Amino acid sequence: MIELQNLQCEFDKRVILQDISLTIENHLSILGANGSGKSTLAKAISSLTTFSGEIRIDSQNIERLSLNEKAKLISYIPAKLEIYDSFISVEEFVLLGRFPYKLNFMDYSEKDKKIASQTLEFLKISHLRSNVVSSLSSGEQQLCLIAQALAQQSKIIIFDEPTANLDPHNSKIIAEHIKGLKEYHQVILITHDLHLASFIDSPILFIKEKSAHYYEENFFEDAILEQLYGVSFNSLAVQYD
Amino acid sequence: MIRFMVWSALLAIMLLSPFIGAVSLELSEILNVDSLTHTIFFDLRVPRVLFAFFAGLTLALSGLLFQTLFRNALMTPYTLGISSGAVLGAGIAIKLGLGTLFFGIAAISLFGFLGAMLTVFLLIYLSQFLRSSQHESLLLLGIALSLFYTSALMIIFYFGDAMQNDMLIRFTMGSLSVIGWSYPLILALIALILLLSIYFYRFELQLLSVSDSQAKLKGIDTKRVTLFLLMVSSLGIGTLVSISGPIGFVGLIVPHIVAKLYPVSVTHRIVKTALFGGFFLVVCDTLTRGLQTQSELPIGIVTALIGGPFFIYLIISKASK
């Protein structure tokens, strides 16, 4: 359970999110226009940006948790992989998810390696194990990011625009994985992709004009979408299921 | 096979290096304790080879560290102006005519060291005004600092007399010439600390090479780790430059050459980069001594002459892929 109390975020002295109080019981998809503050909210929850107010996870104030404790609680999957080390292999990349569990100065343990390898099998990308991450396609890279997050074994997984760089086919693969993960993790999804949000089928938080609007259901009705986005909708075309 | 040949050649030159120089040594005389040959071999040549080795190691490792931490192929302590700071410090010492020793350390070295460290603190202070992702801006800050230092040095030149200027020019060209064992041992100790620090933090470094935010999300106190590694590396570079003067290109090209030979993640390249850097500088230094000129060619000139064309080749071959 994630509780936000009077959350306020600023960026370059501009208020992005204002006075948001909200309890996220379980899964949630966050939608909103460009620059509405969706990613800022996710970054605040994962402590990647500063905020005022309070964020509690399972009644613990996250500002009182150590970085390591936070890492075991939350993983954050960015939209696109940015990587300078152009020679890191898929296996090594997924192992990075085990970093919070690793002893200082030591190598990753056999257990860590086993978990990383199981994760690769689970996502059906074991054959890419020795490949170099930077040489993979965007879809495969997104799977590597998910594998790393799974190896991290955190309770909460935040996806930031997971399908932003993917074609419909790869979007579907990722979408199915995200939906599957809802069984074991609390999945927070940030997306512009209405098809994806509809398929994932979590309650919706729509961010508009610095504040958040919560929709338990009925979000995907044309009239509501039209009112929120200001363009007309004629039922969503692509169906993932 | 190429790897084996490269390493064997480097090792062979390293072992032969003490026998090469302006004075050719009689092999039979080396072990004769009372001979001049013995003195040249054990008090000049061997310490110099070791000094060159640890200097190359420090430069190459610092290059790898800066390039990985800042995720930029051009970042080295040199491009960030740290060595220019040392040169300016040394220049001030020479201009002030400080020939005296402070606690057994030459004034030029002490001022050079202070110049390097002040630059590091200045960069760390200034970088707080940048967002963590703005590494290009840090590079620009370093370049701006370098240019500023160079101009300040020009003023010292302008007002300096011929003898001071000659000393200064020789310092800026870099030299690995050392007498006795104290400098090689100091540098060896610092190089070892640098190598161990980077090795212990290899997985942190691997995560930082992905991105600052990913490293933070995996539980790394990125600021603390970055600061620690930068300080250790700057200590090494400051010490080195204050003794030898600036030696360019090693920190820039050696990590790239090793990455070319071993296209593997940074965790597997730390020790290889360190060794290659050490061997590389010994080879360059052997060349300066082997060329039978009137006096030794400054080391900085040799590393740049070899490094420049090689680096251009690397960039072109990378771009054409």
The minimal CB distance from A71 to the residues B71, B219, B265 is found for B219
Tell me, what's the pLDDT at A33? 84
Tell me if A241 is assigned to some domain.
no
With CB atoms and an 8 Å threshold, state whether A48 touches B209. Answer: no
- Candidates B201, B216, B265; nearest CB to A88: B265
Please give chain B's pLDDT, 321 residues, in tens. Answer: 788 988 999 999 999 888 887 777 777 788 888 888 888 888 889 999 999 999 999 999 999 999 998 888 888 888 888 889 988 998 898 888 776 666 656 788 888 889 988 998 898 888 878 776 667 788 888 899 999 999 999 998 888 888 888 888 888 888 888 888 989 999 999 999 999 999 999 999 999 988 888 899 999 998 899 989 988 998 899 889 888 888 988 998 899 989 988 999 999 999 999 999 999 999 999 988 877 666 778 888 888 888 888 778 877 876 554
User: What is the CATH number for A186?
Assistant: 3.40.50.300
**Nearest by CB: B206 against A96, A97, A100:** A96
Interface probe, candidates B68, B70, B217, B225, chain A, greatest A C-beta count within 10 A: B217
- Does B32 lie at the interface with A, CB-CB under 8 angstroms? no
Please report whether residue A148 resides in a domain. Answer: yes
SS3 label, residue B260: helix
3-class DSSP string for chain A: CEEEEEEEEEECCEEEEEEEEEEECCCEEEEECCCCCHHHHHHHHCCCCCCEEEEEECCEEHHHCCHHHHHHHEEEECCCCCCCCCCCEHHHHHHHHHHHHCCCCCCCCHHHHHHHHHHHHHCCCHHHCCCEHHHCCHHHHHHHHHHHHHHCCCCEEEEECCCCCCCHHHHHHHHHHHHHHCCCCEEEEECCCHHHHHHHCCCEEEEECCEEEEECCCCCCHHHHHHHHCCCCCCCCCCCC
Asked whether residue A183 is assigned to any structural domain, the reply reads: yes
A-chain residues within 8 Å CB-CB of B203? Answer: 96, 99, 102, 108
pLDDT, position B304: 83
Say yes or no: B229 contacts chain A, CB-CB below 8 A: no
Mutation to test the B interface, candidates A66, A99, A152, A157, most B Cβ within 10 Å: A99
Residues of A with CB below 8 A from B206's CB?
85, 88, 92, 96
* pLDDT score recorded for residue B214: 87
The whole-angstrom distance between B321's CA and the closest CA on chain A is 13
Q: Please indicate, yes or no, if residue A177 is contained in any of the structural domains.
A: yes
Which pair of tokens denotes residue A120? 């690769």
Please tell me the predicted confidence (pLDDT) of residue B121. Answer: 87
Shortest distance between the Cα of B95 and any Cα of chain A, in A, equals 43
Interface mutation vs chain A, best among B70, B210, B216, B256, most A CBs within 10 Å: B210
B263 vs A: CB within 8 A: yes
- Which amino acid belongs to residue B8? S
Asked if residue A239 is part of any domain, the answer here is no
Residue A235 inside a domain? The answer is: no
Kindly state whether residue A144 falls inside one of the protein's structural domains: yes
The whole-number pLDDT of residue A30 equals 94
- Domains of chain B and any CATH numbers: 59-64+75-319 (1.10.3470.10)
- Specify the number of domains making up chain A: 1
Q: Is residue A237 part of a domain?
A: no
Q: Do A75 and B217 touch (CB under 8 A)?
A: yes
* Spatial CA neighbour of B208 closest among B64, B47, B70, B2: B70
Task: Identify the pLDDT of residue B178.
Answer: 83
Host domain of residue A9:
2-229
A135 Cβ neighbours under 8 A, 6+ residues apart? none
Q: Which residues of chain A have pLDDT under 70?
A: 236-241
Closest chain B CA to residue A90: B265
Residues 145-204 of B with CB under 8 A from A: 200-201, 203
Confidence (pLDDT) at A202:
93
DSSP H or E stretch at residue B101:
strand B101-102
Q: Are the Cβ atoms of B265 and A46 closer than 8 angstroms? A: no
Q: Does A39 touch chain B (CB under 8 A)?
A: no
Q: How high is the pLDDT of residue B133? A: 62
- Tokens standing for residue B47: 């310490």
As for the ipTM of the complex, it is 0.88
Contacts of A66 in chain B (CB under 8 A): 219
Assess B206–A contact: CB distance below 8 Å, yes or no.
yes
- Residues of chain A with Cβ-Cβ distance to B217 below 8 Å are 46, 48, 70-71, 74-76
